Amino acid sequence: MASAIKRATTSSKPAPAPAAAAPGKPGLEISPLAVPFPTIPPIGGVEIATGRAGFYKHERDDLVVFSFARGTTCAGVFTRHKVGSAPVDWCKRHLGAEDGGQDVRALVVNAGCANAFTGKAGADAARRTASEVAKRFGCRQRDVMLASTGVIGVVLDDRKIAARLHEIEAGLNADNWARAGQAIMTTDTFPKGSYAECDIEGHTVRIAGIAKGSGMIAPDMATMLAFIVTDAAISPAVLRALLGLHVRTTFNSVTVDGDTSTNDTALLFATGASGAPRIGRVGDRRLKDFSRALDQVMLDLAHQLVRDGEGATKFVKVTVDGAASPASARKLAKSIA
């Protein structure tokens, strides 16, 4: 079965934002380039819940928790900023361990506080958050991934997250993708999601993702969070290779204002719930359709980030033909953009 995005691809014509959507910050107008949030069916092996931790003064969800089945694998790519945030450092350390990404059980995302430039106090807050979630889900701290976005220079008040974990756990279900996309927004004006399917040896495999990021989007990702989940069974090493391959032509190929950030995070999770055979080798031919579908999801999300750039009224795609190498083509395209 050919892979395909499960909504109309983005076009040059503005589309209305979803009826339930509202800008992440009061007073913002929804981008004229906004696209509707897609219909995302349940992805086996993952449940999601959102809640209000109170990082914003106004009423809105600002906390998302993903709960993953045992054996879920994970890989990530992160900011190249010289000073990463505490959540970025946490994820890089544990995913980079010898057996990192083999059994990730939860992802916690908060909006409103970036927990960046916060030193040891910020690192301690990240560790305590992972510890509280690990107790709740019966796993190790290292199997909890973290991500934050928002105000820089303020230490995360992890007590706000801990106080909401009980109600968050009670609200877990497989249909909260749109709510999650809304909850991670900061200066975004519409939630961003994408969905695709592919075939692996007769098994239908699903891939879904959400992302946020409005201003400060530049080469090598900036003020951008992206979380992609599939029910395929794929080893962490293969996930790393796929993510590294496709991030270059998707998230790392967009620019809005040329700035970079401390909190860039893109995480790819594979729950293995589809029943498709496990893939543990990068060169496995069975990855062909999956790789294509993953690229579609990542490119779709990257395009939506551009459509929601602060003050954006035009969506421009630069195509370079005849360049000596992909690197030179990227350099030329970015000089124009």
Q: Can you tell me the distance from the alpha carbon of 247 to that of 123, in angstroms, rounded to the nearest whole number? A: 27
223 is catalytic: yes
- Catalytic-role residue among 50, 79, 118, 223: 223
Q: Can you tell me the distance from the alpha carbon of 194 to that of 39, in angstroms, rounded to the nearest whole number? A: 8
Query: Are 93 and 152 in contact, with CB atoms under 8 Å apart?
Result: no
Q: Can you tell me the distance from the alpha carbon of 166 to that of 321, in angstroms, rounded to the nearest whole number? A: 54
Three-state secondary structure of the chain: CCCEECCCCCCCCCCCCCCCCCCCCCCCCCCCCCCCCCCCCCCCCEEEEEECCCCCCCCCCCEEEEEECCCCEEEEEECCCCCCCHHHHHHHHHHCCCCCCCCCCEEEEEEEECCCCCHHHHHHHHHHHHHHHHHHHCCCHHHEEEEEEEECCCCCCHHHHHCCHHHHHHCCECCCHHHHHHHCCCCCCCCEEEEEEEEECCEEEEEEEEEECCCCCCCCCCCCEEEEEECCCECHHHHHHHHHHHHCCCHHHCCCCCCCCCCCEEEEEECCCCCCCCECCCCCCCHHHHHHHHHHHHHHHHHHHHHCCCCCCCCCCCCCCCCCCHHHHHHHHHHHC
Which residues are catalytically annotated? 223
